[in-house]
Structure 1
Amino acid sequence: MNILFVCSRNQWRSPTAEKIFQPVQEHVFRSAGTSEQARIKISAKTLVWADLVFVMEKKHKQQLVSRFGTTAREKEIVVLNIPDEYGYMDEELITMLKTAVTPYL
């Protein structure tokens, strides 16, 4: 399964998620951001690639639906409710991600 993690700037939350789940061999993981300043910007191609999408906040899901319409509506998008207050590979962030995402794997 192709799994995509989305946050705003693709600097801390979604890259952390991509990194910590990378060892799970059954799936392929990528990350992207919704902001114009994102390290890797979300694209329609990336969204089509994903079988399952995890967004950090409700606003990210709204942005995906607003920008990509039917493509986003047809995807399973899970809102993790993880605020933008953690650094890359922050231990608390890792714990939250593992707790929220592991049941879907």
Structure 2
Amino acid sequence: MSNLLFICSKNQWRSPTAELLFKGHLLHSARSAGTSDKARIRLNQKLMDWADVVFVMEYKHRDLVKQRFASNSKRLVVLNIPDDYQFNDPELIEMLSAALADWL
């Protein structure tokens, strides 16, 4: 089983939606976090250590992860999904499903 971590800014819309896609998945466990001080669940080293693969929504999240955390051995994937969607927005789900098709 792989542990998948999804990261956006405030952990309100994009990353929790991605996490929800993997609820009950047989092969993967998923969590989500945010990079902002105002994040619902703030990214920390414990979450980074837990993750096998880290998915970030934007390049700025990738850069923050690389600056703040020991993630050299982690696979880091940029999904390139802008902050234009609400939680569980059908268009967001469609974009995430397409980007994560190999994992779903």
TM bucket (normalised to shorter chain) is over 0.9
CA distance in 2, matches of 1:10, 1:32: 5
Alignment of structure 1 residues 40-51 onto 2, 5 Å:
40-51=41-52
CA distance in 1, matches of 2:46, 2:72: 15
1:36 maps to a residue whose letter is D
* Aligned alpha-carbon RMSD (Å): 0.9
CA distance in 1, matches of 2:22, 2:94: 12
CA distance in 1, matches of 2:9, 2:66: 15
CA distance in 1, matches of 2:72, 2:91: 31
CA distance in 1, matches of 2:71, 2:37: 18
- 5+ residue gaps, structure 1, are none
Alignment of structure 1 residues 84-99 onto 2, 5 Å:
84-99=83-98
Moved over 3 A (4+): none
Q: CA deviation at 1:27?
A: 1.0
Q: CA deviation at 1:73?
A: 2.3
CA distance in 2, matches of 1:83, 1:49: 25
2:27 maps to a residue whose letter is E
Q: CA deviation at 1:26?
A: 1.2
Alignment of structure 1 residues 1-105 onto 2, 5 Å:
1-68=2-69, 71-105=70-104
CA distance in 2, matches of 1:95, 1:73: 30
- 5+ residue gaps, structure 2, are none
Q: CA deviation at 1:38?
A: 0.2
TM-score, normalisation: structure 2: 0.95
Structure with the higher helix share, 1 or 2: 1
CA distance in 2, matches of 1:98, 1:51: 19
- Matched-pair identity in %: 53
